Structure 1
Amino acid sequence: MNLTIWYYLYFVVIIMSTSMSNWISMWTMLELSSWLMIIISMKNNFMYDLTFKMYLLFSLSSMVLMLFWFTFSMKQEWLLYVIAFKLGIPPLHWWMSWVMKHMSWYTMWWFTTFHKTIPMLISLLVMNNLLPFWWCWLSIIWSSLSFWMSSSMFTIIFYSSCIHTSWLWMTLNDFFSFLFYFCIYSMTMFMVFSLMEYLMYWSMSLELTTVMIILLGIPPSAIFFAKFITLSTYFSHMMMSVWLLLFINITTIFPYTRMIWNAFINNMYSPFSYQQQMKQ
Structure 2
Amino acid sequence: MYNHTTKMLFMMTLIGGMMMTISSNSWLGAWMGLEINLLSFIPLMTNNENIFTTEASMKYFLVQALASSVLIFIVMMIMSVKNEILVLNKFTQPDTMLSLPLMLKMGISPLHWWFPSVMEGLTWLNCLILLTLQKIAPMLLMTNSLDNKSWIMISILMSVIVGSIGGLNQNSIRKMLAYSSINHMGWLLMAMYLSMSTWIIYFIIYVTMTLSIILVMSINQVSLVNQMFVNNIYPINKVMMFMVLMSMAGLPPFLGFLPKWLVIQSMVVNSYVVMSMIMITFSLITLYYYLRMMYAAILLNKSSISWMPPKVTQFNSSMLLSMVMSLLGMMLLPLPLTFYL
Q: TM-score, normalised by structure 2?
A: 0.70
- 3-state SS, counterpart of residue 64 of structure 2: helix
User: In the aligned structure 1, how far is the partner of 2:59 from the partner of 2:284?
Assistant: 37
- Match of residue 41 from structure 2: 37
- Does 2:184 correspond to 1:164? yes
Shift of 1:207: 1.6
- Match of residue 284 from structure 2: 250
Per the alignment, do residues 13 and 268 of structure 1 end up closer, same or farther by CA in structure 2, a change over 3 Å counting?
A: farther
Can you give the 5+ residue segments of structure 1 that lack an aligned partner in the other structure? Answer: 270-280
Alignment counterpart, residue 61 of structure 2, candidates 55, 64, 67: 55
After the TM superposition, which of the residue ranges 40-49 and 252-261 deviates more from structure 2? 40-49
Cα deviation digits, residues 4-59 of structure 1 (max 9, x gap): 33223323333343333322222221111111111211224575554344322211
Alignment counterpart, residue 199 of structure 1, candidates 209, 217, 220: 220
- Match of residue 162 from structure 2: 142
- 3-state SS, counterpart of residue 250 of structure 1: helix
Give 1 or 2: higher helix fraction: 1
Can you give the 5+ residue segments of structure 2 that lack an aligned partner in the other structure? Answer: 79-91, 222-231, 304-341
CA contact (8 A) 2:95 2:148 kept: no
- Match of residue 294 from structure 2: 260
CA contact (8 A) 1:203 1:267 kept: no
User: In the aligned structure 2, how far is the partner of 1:260 from the partner of 1:42?
Assistant: 32
- 3-state SS, counterpart of residue 93 of structure 1: coil
User: In the aligned structure 1, how far is the partner of 2:11 from the partner of 2:148?
Assistant: 30
Alignment counterpart, residue 77 of structure 1, candidates 93, 96, 100: 96
User: In the aligned structure 1, how far is the partner of 2:190 from the partner of 2:34?
Assistant: 20
User: In the aligned structure 2, how far is the partner of 1:37 from the partner of 1:267?
Assistant: 42
Cα deviation digits, residues 128-172 of structure 1 (max 9, x gap): 273434302211012212223434433322211111122222222
- Does 2:56 correspond to 1:23? no
Q: TM-score, normalised by structure 1?
A: 0.84
- 3-state SS, counterpart of residue 47 of structure 2: helix
- 3-state SS, counterpart of residue 108 of structure 2: coil
- Does 2:204 correspond to 1:183? yes
- Match of residue 105 from structure 2: 86
Per the alignment, do residues 16 and 79 of structure 1 end up closer, same or farther by CA in structure 2, a change over 3 Å counting?
A: closer
Shift of 1:98: 1.6
- 3-state SS, counterpart of residue 222 of structure 1: coil
Per the alignment, do residues 177 and 44 of structure 1 end up closer, same or farther by CA in structure 2, a change over 3 Å counting?
A: farther
Shift of 1:208: 0.6
Name the amino acid aligned to 1:247: T
After the TM superposition, which of the residue ranges 178-187 and 65-74 deviates more from structure 2? 65-74
Name the amino acid aligned to 1:77: T
State the identity as a percent.
22
Q: Which has the larger radius of gyration?
A: 2
- Match of residue 217 from structure 1: 250
Per the alignment, do residues 66 and 13 of structure 1 end up closer, same or farther by CA in structure 2, a change over 3 Å counting?
A: closer
User: In the aligned structure 2, how far is the partner of 1:148 from the partner of 1:166?
Assistant: 18
CA contact (8 A) 2:20 2:29 kept: no
